[in-house]
Structures are given as C-alpha cells and as structure tokens.
Amino acid sequence: MADYLSLLNQVRSGELTSFEVTPEVFSDFQKAWASFDYQSAIRGVAHQNGHITYEKA
C-alpha cells in the first residue's frame, strides 16, 4: 500500500508534480485524504474508468 499522506505532502511541497489513484486503491487513499490538513492545496482531476490524478491546486 502506498503512503498517500507522504504523496500528498510531496505534491504540496513541489517534490512531485502529481500522482494517480485508481478505483482499486481509492478507499485506502480516502483514509489519508480525510486526515490531510491541506486539502485546498491539492486538486483531483478525474479521468475515464475512475482514475484520478492529484496535483497542486
């Protein structure tokens, strides 16, 4: 399982430009997202088949 809090913080800080979440792992990601204090700094871009790319807002 990926460390989604770490990925979110890396996007927020500019270390990463984006990362993708698939429908298969979304429930794991959602737990990290719910506890992420800087949700307004990240945006999700939806794609076909339930894939979402998270990037700096």
The overall pTM is greater than 0.85: yes
Q: Which domain holds residue 28?
A: 4-56
Model pLDDT for residues 17-57, shown as the tens digit of each residue: 999 999 999 999 999 999 999 999 999 999 999 999 999 99
Q: What's phi and psi for 27, nearest 5 deg?
A: -65, -35
Q: Which of 39, 54, 9 is nearest to 22 (CA)?
A: 54
| Number of domain units in the chain | 1
The reported pLDDT for the residue numbered 53 is 99
Q: Is the pLDDT of residue 1 over 80?
A: no
Contacts of 49 (CB under 8 A, 6+ apart): 23
**3 pLDDT band (50/70/90 cuts)?**
very high
Residue matched to tokens 């506890």 = 35
Task: Give strand pairing partners of 44.
Answer: 54
Q: Is the pLDDT of residue 10 over 80?
A: yes
